[in-house]
Amino acid sequence: MAALVPILCFVGRSNSGKTTLIERLISMMVRDGYRIATIKHAGHGFNLDTESKDSWRHKRAGASTVIVTTKGSLAMFTDVEEEVGVEELRDRYVREGIDLIIAEGWKNEGFPKIVVVRDHVGEVDASPAGLLAIVSNKTLQGVPEGVPVLDPDDIAGVAAVVTKQFPRRSAPHG
């Protein structure tokens, strides 16, 4: 059986800069040959389907699962009884050949994490267990010893922390 794809969680308050940081990090890591999957936790719900499109109409009519596919892409909208955890999502949907899953959210899961701080470190739990780094443009108090604090514009520094912890598992692509 293939080894499980590792998961790295980026956590922080809403509007702390997580998505922008992740976007820039993915671009750099993909250029370096990594294959990245992302999973985003939307704590306040979401709607990806577009009103009046066929898939939206199918779902509105009562279909519990709608799958849309084209050459090179697949999307699924499905009802779930309860929130699905990041580990279960990985096990169900992330294909082999992926080097790393970058998850946005899931601060309470037991996976390694990078905390993105906008105002002060107390915004989110920055306990040292599994904490790889803190990303902030502020001077922070109470940073656990040995945990690097990186500027949000230091994408190379963030990538160095991530790639040290999660070496590429696949052959480079390009």
In tens, the pLDDT along 28-71 reads 999 999 999 999 887 655 556 677 788 888 888 888 888 888 88
The beta-strand segments (E) located in the chain are 7-11, 36-40, 65-70, 73-78, 100-104, 113-117, 131-136, 149-150
pLDDT, tens digit (0-9, with 9 covering 90-100), for 68-102? 888 888 888 888 888 888 999 999 888 878 999 99
| pTM of the complete model | 0.83
- State the average pLDDT for the chain: 85
Task: Give residue 21's pLDDT.
Answer: 96
pLDDT, tens digit (0-9, with 9 covering 90-100), for 11-30? 988 888 999 999 999 999 99
Residue 173 has pLDDT above 70, yes or no: no
Residue 75 vs residue 173, higher pLDDT: 75
Find the helix packing angle between 155-165 and 18-31, rounded to 10°: 70
